[in-house]
Structure 1
Amino acid sequence: MRQQDMHNPNGERLQKILAHAGVASRRAAEELIAEGRVEVNGQVIRQLGIRVDPTQVSIHVDGMPVQLDQSKLTVAVYKEPGVVSTMHDDQGRRTLAEYIQDRPERLFHVGRLDIDTEGLILLTNDGELAHRLTHPSYEIPKTYIARVEGTVTRGLGKVLEKGITLEDGPIHVDKFVLREAQRKNSIIEVTLHSGRNRIVRRMMEEVGHPVMELVRTQFGNIQVGHLKPGRYRQIAGSELGALMHMVGM
């Protein structure tokens, strides 16, 4: 499709669409277009005046997709310990739903954290995104910081990167960092792409260093950052585009 064929006089200006999608301010979006970093339906657009129908085109910035469907919402939540990873609990326990009471959208959790684990969990109403993020074939990395019992040696990292065997099969970490080692407990950081139930806790139990505290700090490219326990923030713009790109959307 030629650039003039994409132009829809009844559509929205491209820079306005990018601003509404959270990619950048309108002025910064104009610079992105002028620099040739924006594609519409696979074609680089440099013309600032072009108008397109966001429901009829696909837009990429720096090769990353832009979510144009304003009804789709993805948020990052900092789950506190004692909260179950569900939107409703028959036992009356605290759930993720309490964090998003101000949102009208019906959101679903992407994967789970066990009740004692705190940190980052994603909620979304984008069913395809949720499915891909939890599907083993996409191998989305997740990073955890754990306080574990005992003195961890640096050699344990090599053991876990090589892999160990649990009752439900072999498992290995993608990255291991020993942050602090003391006589009674140590602090480690592990990155792995497995979504198996309580996998970090079971893995550390197996190697003789049971987990005392566990926090998930990153899911894919999404980092917990300065997000406070019990709060959430919306994922949009280039951050959401990079997440979608990781799962081929």
Structure 2
Amino acid sequence: MSGADEQTDAAGVRLQKVLAHAGVASRRVCEELIASGRVRVNGVVVTELGSRIDPEVDLVDVDGTAVQLDQSKRYVVLNKPVGVVSTMRDEKGRPDLRRYTADWDERLYNVGRLDQDTSGLLVLTNDGGLAHVLAHPSFGVTKVYIAKVVGTVSPQTIARLTRGVQLEDGEIVADKARLLDASRGGHGASSLVELTLHSGRNRIVRRMMAEVGHPVIELVRRQFGPLHLGSLPVGRARELTTVERGALLTLARQGADPAPEDSPELR
């Protein structure tokens, strides 16, 4: 390698090349993004096309959305089935998450947990920094749940959920609550309730609904921060799209200095 090449490597990599390699757009379009002031490096707008960065250290965003520069990181969403415990190796021999990570060479770990009787969206990743921030009890990432509960839920009960429910470990307030459906079948009346929470307290949805007189029959998490379960079948996993990765990384960077909140989650 020539001395000039060594100096080039030491100075970093051209920003437009890094953006193109990350899949943001073609190099020509990336140059236009830079020139128009839409790209920031470590929070500072960069407009010089000759700018160089260190992809292993610097943080880049386009229009406020984080760009994944480390291509060794994997971000996977799983629709966890009922009966599976949220761990990579269960000491009791119960079904765990290992079976859903076989398609990836990297060792993936779950971000937060869902209890054995709860299905739905679970994030798997080998990005320890992101996992720590998103699962941190003080970060307060928003989650959306659909609960099938016993009985017919009244508008007054929905209002109570958003005003606050007193539990043994303190009051809990739902960010949002709404009744989706109420029906009467052969085993009695039941209702579908959508709850949006940022709390991370243990089994909080089940405890809230039991406290207002409507024990949970089935529970599924449909949303975690900017990620939606969509039509992903139960028991299937997929990598996040570029847009989803950007949204998740942006959320994680915003939570680098979280405010006080609750204890670790288990729904």
- TM class by shorter chain equals 0.7 to 0.9
Q: TM-score by structure 1 length?
A: 0.86
Tell me if structure 2 keeps the 8 A contact 1:151–1:186: yes
Q: TM-score by structure 2 length?
A: 0.81
2:76 paired residue number: 75
Tell me if structure 2 keeps the 8 A contact 1:148–1:209: yes
How far apart are the structure 2 equivalents of 1:210 and 1:156? 13
Indicate the SS of the match to 1:182.
strand
How big is the shift at 1:182?
A: 2.3
Indicate the SS of the match to 1:97.
helix
How far apart are the structure 1 equivalents of 2:149 and 2:25? 41
Percent sequence identity is: 56
1:239 paired residue number: 247
How big is the shift at 1:22?
A: 4.4
How far apart are the structure 1 equivalents of 2:32 and 2:178? 40
Residues 1-249 of structure 1: pairs in structure 2 closer than 5 A: 9-10=8-9, 11-24=12-25, 26=27, 29-48=30-49, 50-183=51-184, 184-235=189-240, 236=242, 237-248=245-256
Q: Which moved more, 1:16-25 or 1:139-148?
A: 16-25
Gap change, CA 1:163 and 1:116, over 3 Å in 2: same
Which amino acid letter does the alignment assign opposite residue 111 of structure 2? V
Tell me if structure 2 keeps the 8 A contact 1:65–1:244: no
Point out where structure 1 has 5 or more consecutive residues left out of the alignment. Answer: 1-7
Tell me if structure 2 keeps the 8 A contact 1:64–1:245: no
Tell me if structure 1 keeps the 8 A contact 2:133–2:252: no
How big is the shift at 1:30?
A: 4.4
RMSD of aligned Cα (Å): 2.3
Q: Which moved more, 1:26-35 or 1:87-96?
A: 26-35
Indicate the SS of the match to 2:220.
strand
How big is the shift at 1:132?
A: 1.7
